[in-house]
Amino acid sequence: MATEVHPNSSVDPKAQLGAGVRVGPFAVVGPNVVLGDGAIVHPHAVVDGHTTVGAKAEIFPGAVVGMAPQDLKYDGSPTRLEIGAKTVIRECATLHPGSVGGRAVGVTKVGEGCLIMAYCHVAHDCVVGDHVVLANAVQLAGHVTVEDHVILGGLTNVHQFCRIGTRAFTGAATRVSQDVPPYLMADGHPARMVGLNLVGLKRAGLPPESISALKRAYRRIFMGTRFRNSIKEVEAELGEFPEIRRLVAFLESSERGITRADLAARGKSEAG
């Protein structure tokens, strides 16, 4: 599988290109970039910095990947951006490497099989898991963690240091300023929990008994008035389910606080 580099592209001779890489016209690939086998950089895309792009990943026109983070503390250090295999980065998205100082870890990670749609932003020191979908213009501030199989609706913006738990879902234009627990749906400005991500859980093949346990946990924890006590009660009653253990661990480890339920939507919640 031959590597194809268009003569009108700018690929630094120090860049490492795997087998079958394709670089389109007027694309830019910097000296510290590693492109895995079969990766595609479309015309007018920029890949720079200490950036590793996994096999068969695809970067569309206008995307800017690996340029210096938008952080006043950044001092030019060789921080990193790592992008997993088969991840697709669409038009005009921006993904930045890690930063320095404070709680920065110096690396931004995006997992395998993700879809980063047009105009999304992944800021410094974010960690995005596998098979995540960021719909158009999702904005992740610095140090955000997005776990596996999350879907964030278009125009969702996430405050720095927030976490989004596995298989969570947000509606369009949701403003997330506190952690969104796994398996749940959030919507609104500011975000409020509106029930379980039932469609996502069924598509994932979760057993009916696990979904039933999550429904009971949601009602107890989010629809009641004894939040902290309810977490302990749910753990004691339903802790045999791995999904419940993961939910409880997420809630108990939160630093920014947890997005709470929209009690006005009690009768409409899919958890009901």
Judge contact between 250 and 164, C-beta under 8 A.
Answer: no
Judge contact between 79 and 101, C-beta under 8 A.
Answer: no
Catalytic one of 30, 129, 142, 154: 142
124 counts as catalytic: yes
142 counts as catalytic: yes
Catalytic one of 50, 96, 121, 124: 124
Distance CA 128, CA 68 (A): 19
Which candidate, 28, 32, 29, 24, places its Cα nearest to that of 6?
Answer: 24
Burial of 93 (C-beta count, 10 Å sphere; 0-12/13-18/19+): buried
Judge contact between 52 and 83, C-beta under 8 A.
Answer: yes
The residues, any chain, with a CB within 8 Å of residue 186's CB and separated by 6 or more, are: 168, 169, 170, 171, 174, 176, 180, 192, 193, 194, 259
Catalytic one of 71, 125, 179, 187: 125
Active site residues: 124-125, 142
